[in-house]
Amino acid sequence: MTPLRQKMTNDMKLRGLSPRTQQSYLEAVTGLAKFFNQSPDRLSKEQVQEYLLYLMEERRLSWSSCNVAVSAFRFLYGKTLESESMRLAIPPRKKITKLPEILSAEEIECLFASTDNPKHRMILMTVYGGGLRVSEVVKLKVNDLHKDRMTVRIDQGKGNKDRYTILSKRLLEELRVYWTMYRPPLWLFPSSRDINKPLDISSAQRIYYKAKERARITKGRGIHTLRHCFATHMLEAGHDVRTIQMLMGHSSIMTTIVYLQVTQKKMDATKSPLDLLEIPTARDCDRR
């Protein structure tokens, strides 16, 4: 490990960045160094900007991937190297807001039914049943399930925050059957390679994609879709936004309010102004 890489790693740890963020930032900086075959602290602001254009225009990376690179470079030059001029030379990227695609209740049922492996089925049901992030479900421990209070404890979720979400009665029944079959000692969903380690995030994603393919579902993206479905279906069931914010672990209620835009109940109750007009239909016009 080079001194610069070590210093950046230490700076990220001191600022409490998650291991995943640290890894993403280091990979982005490594890509920059390999592109010019030179240490990042020797690059000019024009070279850094050239690399960002390369990522956007030639490699055509998604907004999120490019934004990770921008954030990594701003951290490297602004925090680790303390170069104000270099930091200012890296423009912030405007966030692109996209509404999540929501699966219907029937599609959710079909997704679960398409999974033959009991463990895989329980992973998907747990994500949907409590609105968990994939990073949270893989790190659940057996004793995080509080049957007396019907809650699930999320230990150090996003932003290093603890929280509680609901434990569904149906989920609890299913988990009891799962536990008798697998008897996980510590992690609720241990790795298939090492029972003393939690399931890998990429494995959970693959489980979702396989189930989605079997169910012939084309909407939505990764396993995070189930978290979106949890919030939306909760709103459609009449639960208030503040409660859902707490269960989801959103820092800002504005993040939760986004789901109001995709609730089917709200759509069904909203009429287009065209429906209010008393004008002849196309069929009536043909008769004339």
User: Which stretch of 16-30, 136-150, 169-183, 247-261 has the lowest confidence by average pLDDT?
Assistant: 247-261
Joined together, the tokens standing for residue 271 give 């009429």
Mean pLDDT of 88-95: 68
Q: Give me the DSSP letters along the chain.
A: --HHHHHHHHHHHHTT--HHHHHHHHHHHHHHHHHHTS-GGG--HHHHHHHHHIIIIIS---HHHHHHHHHHHHHIIIIIS--HHHHHTSPPPPPPP-PPP---HHHHHHHHHT--SHHHHHHHHHHHHHT--HHHHTT-BGGGEETTTTEEEE-S-TTS--EEEE--HHHHHHHHHHHHHH--SSBSSB-SS-TTSBPPHHHHHHHHHHHHHHTT--SS-STHHHHHHHHHHHHHTT--HHHHHHHHT-SSHHHHHGGGGS-HHHHHTPPPGGGG-----HHHHHH-
Strands 163-166 and 151-154: antiparallel
Catalytic member of 141, 206, 214, 224 = 224
Catalytic member of 158, 163, 206, 210 = 158
Could you name the CATH architecture of 105-268? Answer: Orthogonal Bundle (1.10)
Q: Model-level pTM?
A: 0.71
User: Which stretch of 163-167, 250-254, 278-282 has the lowest confidence by average pLDDT?
Assistant: 278-282
Say whether 121 is catalytic: no
Domain segments of the chain: what residues? 3-88, 105-268
Catalytic member of 120, 121, 139, 227 = 227
Say whether 250 is catalytic: yes
- The pLDDT tens digits for 42-55 are 999 899 999 999 99
Strand order in the sheet with 151-154: 145-146, 151-154, 163-166
Say whether 128 is catalytic: no
Say whether 149 is catalytic: no
**Is pLDDT above 80 for 38?**
yes
Res 55: pLDDT: 92
**Is pLDDT above 80 for 89?**
no
**Is pLDDT above 60 for 256?**
yes
Catalytic member of 45, 93, 221, 250 = 250
pLDDT band at 14 (very low <50, low <70, confident <90, very high): very high
Res 187: pLDDT: 95
Res 188: pLDDT: 96
Say whether 158 is catalytic: yes
Average pLDDT in the chain: 87
Q: Are 158 and 172 in contact (CB under 8 A)?
A: no
- The pLDDT tens digits for 205-223 are 999 999 999 999 998 889 9
Say whether 271 is catalytic: no
Strands 145-146 and 151-154: antiparallel
Per the model's pLDDT, the better-predicted residue between 133 and 65 turns out to be 133
Mean pLDDT of 126-148: 94
Could you name the CATH architecture of 3-88? Answer: Orthogonal Bundle (1.10)
Catalytic member of 51, 77, 128, 259 = 259
Catalytic member of 74, 121, 133, 139 = 133
